[in-house]
Amino acid sequence: MPDLDVSGFRVVVIDDQVTNVEFLTALLERDGFRHVVGVSDPRRALEAIVSEDADLVLLDLMMPIVDGYEVLRSLRQALPGDRFLPVLVMTADATPEARRSALELGAADFLTKPVNVLEATLRIRNLLHTGGWSGRTVASD
């Protein structure tokens, strides 16, 4: 895969554990992402995704009040049918049922926690690359 400039991509990280949000945000920023928004209250997930005009979502499944499955359902209902927004699920639930359900609800990929940093970084880049984006660019005069 050619080197992908990720600096312009907008990523929303959704996990009820603040330490996980901080870890993933730091990982992404170290990898060159400049616009990462963390959400630890899953009730605010859809609002953050839409307001940030996210290019990628990292989503935990096991959260109180609103779980990741409900976030996926809400997201797919809210997005226009032609809008592809990759969602990488990162969860401690390693059951085949969790994987199947998340993928059926529209997740583009699935990783189990604890995540391997190299694998997570590569999957994130692959999702952005296969989405057909070359990154957000600012027009120059």
**What is the three-class DSSP state of 35?**
strand
Q: What angle do CA 129, 34, 108 make, to 5 degrees?
A: 35
Cα–Cα distance between 66 and 32 in angstroms, integer?
A: 30
Q: CB–CB of 36/13 below 8 Å?
A: yes
- What is the average per-residue pLDDT within 83-95? 94
Is the model's pLDDT at 2 over the cut of 70? Answer: no
Region of poorest pLDDT, from 13-17, 65-69, 134-138: 134-138
Region of poorest pLDDT, from 57-61, 73-77, 98-102: 73-77
43-53 per-position pLDDT tens digit: 999 999 999 99
- What is the average per-residue pLDDT within 83-89? 92
- pLDDT class of 131 with cuts at 50, 70, 90: low
In this predicted structure, what is the pLDDT of residue 136?
A: 43
| Joined tokens for residue 15 | 């996990």
In this predicted structure, what is the pLDDT of residue 130?
A: 73
Q: CB–CB of 108/127 below 8 Å?
A: yes
Type of residue at 119: E
Give the strands of the sheet with 10-14, arranged side by side: 35-39, 10-14, 56-59, 87-91, 109-112
Percent of the chain's residues with pLDDT above 70: 91
Q: Domains in the chain and their CATH numbers? A: 10-130 (3.40.50.2300)
Is the model's pLDDT at 74 over the cut of 70? Answer: yes
| Joined tokens for residue 11 | 């990523």
What pTM did the predictor assign?
0.89
